[in-house]
Structures are given as structure tokens and as C-alpha cells.
Amino acid sequence: MPKIIRILLLLGLLITASIAVEAQAATSTIDVLQVKGTVNPVLVDYIKHGIDHAEDNNAIACIIQLDTPGGLVTSMLDIVEDIVNAQVPVVVYVSPAGGWAASAGVFITMAAHVAAMAPATNIGAAHPVAVGGEAEMSETQEEKILSIIASKAKTIAELQGRNAEWAERAVRESVSATEQEALELNVIDMVAPDLDSLISQLDGRQVTMLDGSVVTLHTQGATVNHVKMSWTEGFLYAIADPNIAYLLLSLAMLGLMVEISNPGLIFPGIVGGICGLLAFYSLGVLPVNYAGVLLIVLAFGLFIAEVFTTTFGLFTAGGITSLVIGSLILFKGGPLFQVDWRLIGGVAIFITALLGFVVSRVIRAHRRQASTGREELVGKRAVVKVALAPEGTVFFKGERWTAVSEKGQVEPGEEVIITRVDGLMLYVIKKQ
């Protein structure tokens, strides 16, 4: 009997251990975030939520697949802070082939606990181009900012045991490197052709967290969980683009211009209002030059004035000039934050054509005014209200007129034809 009990206990322990191993395997996950585009406040929220998700679910690691031309320095610093202070190992993987980690992407990659790159990718050129929505800086201020950013790059590289000298040169001299050069220079830790290969190479690797603790990664057989942007984050990230922001601003102005020039249409005003609010959000997360915004607002003010005053193209010409100049200087930060000139040209041509159509109709209306007035009443029909014997009252287009019958008496309710007008007196004959 005791032997049977021992056997049962042994079986129970084996089953319990098996269940525990299976439960542990079931919870062994790696969260993967996908970053493609500029670094901005929306991306900050996405990465923060992704790291928090990995921490809350006890993930083995959080991998950030990165492909970015750079972005705002302030947003980059927030992301670096989230990565450095993460309670779960964060791996930044510059991919896919042809991708790059430029400008702000350099800092994000070097801040990771493990930095990796795919073949045919690049990293570097971290010279700051967009600190935020600040005013134009003097040369002295720019040098101070450059020194601060370079110092930050060195600090991040030293924290993760990477090449601090190269990090400083990437900021001051805008140097860059291929994946193999970055590996040889100790800028990254490994090169992996794809995500599966990266996960395989991570297995057994030890990383040191901010608190000094050493974590060994057991990635073999782990479940990959792709954490995508929420619908809201995806939408806001999409409109936080210079071209989209410019297009929204243009649609807002057009909608409001149409509504002001044609009160009561409602729909253009609603569309313009919605586009305007979205444009203000987009402009709020981008390095805006407010002189450009004011020039665009001035342009649409001139367009509205053209509709109401009909200067026969003078205000339109001024407005187009103001629009194009404002569009070209709307954003700061170099080519990364410039509106596509083809979009600017398209908007300018569309507005010119629209205003040309409106102005042409106004001109035709002015030309018709010479032949309009009381003379246009001749030949029109009216209804007798007070019997014409021969003088009485007729009703024409919602108004009562004094009228004289030129041929006999006409009774109330009968129709008459207006033959001539003398001041406020209509001369009519009975309709046959």
C-alpha cells in the first residue's frame, strides 16, 4: 500500500510539473511593434503602450521593428526614456531590407537593450533638424542645442555599452553606416535577415537592465504577438504628416470659403470645420512655421474678398501668391517636413480654376444688369387682385402693383399681360 501511494504521489508531481511547464510555455510571448514613418507624439504613445503591454503580460521581450527617416527631437527623447526605463528587455530591429534608422532613429536604436539590423539597411545622420515648434534659432542657440544632443547621444551609447564616439559623430558630422559597418563599429549587436532569425539569435542572450539586474532571454519556441496601433493611433499617425496636414488645412479653408460665399449650404461648412480641427491637430504635432500659416490664411481671405468684391482677378492673383509662399515655408525641419511641391501646385491650380469659374459667373451677372430692371417686367403675367376699371391692383411675384387696363375692365382672379411700365405703374391687357 505505501508503495502504491508513493507511485501515485510521484505521478501527481510529474503531472503538476508538466502542467507548470506547459503554462510557462503558453505565457512565453514576444511582443512586436511596427514603426514605419516619422517620429512624432503619436508614435511616442504607441511605443509607450506597447512596452506597457509587454510588461503587464510578462513578455520575454518587446521588439520594435524600426524604419524611420527621423522626426522630432522631443518625441525621440520621450521614446528613449521609455525604452531605457522599461522593465522588459527592448530590442530595436532596423528592418526590412532597404529600411533605415536616420536622425531620431539612431537614438532609439542605440537606446535599446539589444540593437539589430537587417541586411541592406542603414543607420546614422543624427544631426538634429526638428527640435519642435520653436522659433528660428540663432547660430549660438543652434550650437548649444547641437552640443546637448551630441552629449545625449554619447550618454545613451555609453549606457548600453556601445560606440559613444561614433554616436557623437553621427550627431555632429551626420555620419552613417551600413549594417555590417555598424556591427564592426559596435553600434549594434547583431545582424539578422528576418524576424525569426533575430528571435533565434536572441535565445540565451543576457541583457543588463537599468537597475543592474541581468536578464537571460529564452526566446526559443516563444509566441510572437504583433501589437498594432489602435484605430485611433493609426488615424492620428496618418494625419500627422506634412502633406496630409496641408491638404486638411486647404480643404478647411475651401469649405469655409464656400459656406461664407453661399450661406445656408451647410455641408461645405461642416466638412470645412471638421478638416480644420484635424488640421490644427496635425499642425500641433509638427514643426510649424506660423508665418506660413498666416500667409495661407491671408490667401483664403483674399479669395473670399474676390468673390464678394469682384476685382476681376486682382485678389485671386494676390491670394495664389500668398498661398504658394505660405505653403513652401509652412514647416521647418528640412526636407523631412516639407510639403510636396506637386501637391502645392495641384491645390493652387484647383483654387485658381474654381475662382475663375466663380468670377466669370459674377462678370456675366454684371453684364446682364444693364438689361434688367423694371423693363424686364414687360411681357410677364400678373393676377388681378382689385378689379381694373381701368385702374386697380395686380399681384406679381409676391408683390402688389398698381395697374391700369389698356383694354376694358378686368375682374379679380383673371390674368393680365404687362405691356409697359411707367414708374411704379403697370399697364396691362387681359390675357386672351
Separation of alpha carbons 377 and 403, rounded Å: 13
- Residue 6 pLDDT: 54
The total of other beta-carbon atoms located within 10 Å of residue 311's CB is 14
Q: Which of 230, 259, 282 is the last residue of a domain?
A: 230
- Residue 34 pLDDT: 95
Looking at the fold, whether 49 and 94 belong to one and the same domain comes out as: yes
Q: Which of 323, 355, 370 is the last residue of a domain?
A: 370
Question: Would 94 be classed as within a structural domain?
Answer: yes
- Residue-wise pLDDT for 367-395, tens only, equals 554 444 566 778 888 999 888 888 999 98
Looking at the fold, whether 266 and 401 belong to one and the same domain comes out as: no
Looking at the fold, whether 132 and 168 belong to one and the same domain comes out as: yes
Separation of alpha carbons 167 and 177, rounded Å: 11
Question: Would 7 be classed as within a structural domain?
Answer: yes
Residues annotated as catalytic are: 103, 144
Range of the domain at 394: 375-430
- Residue 176 pLDDT: 94
- Residue-wise pLDDT for 285-332, tens only, equals 888 888 999 999 999 888 888 877 766 678 888 999 999 999 999 988
DSSP for 365-416, please give it: HHHHGGG-SGGGGTT-EEEEEE-BSSEEEEEETTEEEEEEESSS-B-TT-EE
Supply the mean pLDDT for the chain.
85
- Residue-wise pLDDT for 141-156, tens only, equals 777 888 889 999 999 9
Question: Would 137 be classed as within a structural domain?
Answer: yes
- Residue 94 pLDDT: 97
- Residue 353 pLDDT: 86
pLDDT at 27 > cutoff 60: no
Task: Tell me the three state secondary structure of residue 71.
Answer: strand
* Segments of 138-244 assigned E as strands: 176-178, 190-191, 206-208, 214-216, 223-227
For residue 357, with 0-12 CB atoms within 10 Å meaning exposed, 13-18 middle and 19 or more buried, which class applies?
exposed
The total of other beta-carbon atoms located within 10 Å of residue 217's CB is 21
Separation of alpha carbons 429 and 382, rounded Å: 10
Looking at the fold, whether 212 and 258 belong to one and the same domain comes out as: no
Looking at the fold, whether 294 and 401 belong to one and the same domain comes out as: no
Q: Which three cell numbers stand for residue 113?
A: 537593450
Looking at the fold, whether 167 and 24 belong to one and the same domain comes out as: yes
Looking at the fold, whether 219 and 286 belong to one and the same domain comes out as: no
Q: In this prediction, what percent of the chain has a pLDDT beyond 70?
A: 86
**Overall residue count recorded for the chain in this entry:** 432
Looking at the fold, whether 23 and 100 belong to one and the same domain comes out as: yes
Question: Would 337 be classed as within a structural domain?
Answer: yes
- Residue 85: which pLDDT band, with cuts at 50, 70 and 90? very high
Separation of alpha carbons 407 and 430, rounded Å: 7
Q: Which of 206, 230, 254 is the last residue of a domain?
A: 230
Question: Would 236 be classed as within a structural domain?
Answer: no
| Span 207-232, average pLDDT | 93
Looking at the fold, whether 21 and 151 belong to one and the same domain comes out as: yes
pLDDT at 24 > cutoff 80: no
Looking at the fold, whether 19 and 43 belong to one and the same domain comes out as: yes
Task: Tell me the three state secondary structure of residue 105.
Answer: helix
Looking at the fold, whether 207 and 297 belong to one and the same domain comes out as: no
| Span 132-145, average pLDDT | 63
Question: Would 235 be classed as within a structural domain?
Answer: no
Say how many domains are in the chain: 3
- Residue-wise pLDDT for 409-431, tens only, equals 888 889 998 888 887 788 998 88
CATH number at residue 416: 2.40.50.140
- Residue-wise pLDDT for 157-191, tens only, equals 999 999 999 999 999 998 999 999 999 999 999 99
- Residue 299 pLDDT: 92
Looking at the fold, whether 35 and 173 belong to one and the same domain comes out as: yes
Numbers of helices and strands, H then E, in the chain: 14, 16
